[in-house]
């Protein structure tokens, strides 16, 4: 699982060269963005999770979206949706 406060280290390998990158998820920014969209539209928010959350894992990001009051989540593949549902997320 990703350490959401400290980020997750992702290792990329290409032609025997290894690079380490850090991806940080700013939960406060996600919440603020969803609040802003809800305030402007007055409607439900469907958050889209792309590419398995860029390696973080949809099952890690979906609960953040759920706690941020997103109404729905959109995923590219049924496999990802099942993983999110199995993690306990009800979106």
The whole-model pTM stands at 0.67
Residue 69 β-bridge partners: none
CB burial readout 59-84, b (16+ within 10 A) else e: bbbbbbbbebebeebebeeeebbebb
Contact 87, 59 (CB under 8 A): yes
pLDDT (tens digit, 9 = 90+) per residue, 16-59?
A: 555 666 777 788 888 898 889 889 988 888 999 888 777 788 88
- Two tokens, residue 41: 């539209």
């Amino acid at each position: 699982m990703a350490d959401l406060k400290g980020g997750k280290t992702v290792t990329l390998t290409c032609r025997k060269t290894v690079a380490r990158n850090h991806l940080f998820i700013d939960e406060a920014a996600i919440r603020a963005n969803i609040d802003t969209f809800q305030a402007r539209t007055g409607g439900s928010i469907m958050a889209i999770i792309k590419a398995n959350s860029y390696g973080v894992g949809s099952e890690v990001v979906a609960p953040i979206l759920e706690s941020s009051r997103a109404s729905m989540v959109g995923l590219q593949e049924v496999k990802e949706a099942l993983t999110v549902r199995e993690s306990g997320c009800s979106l």
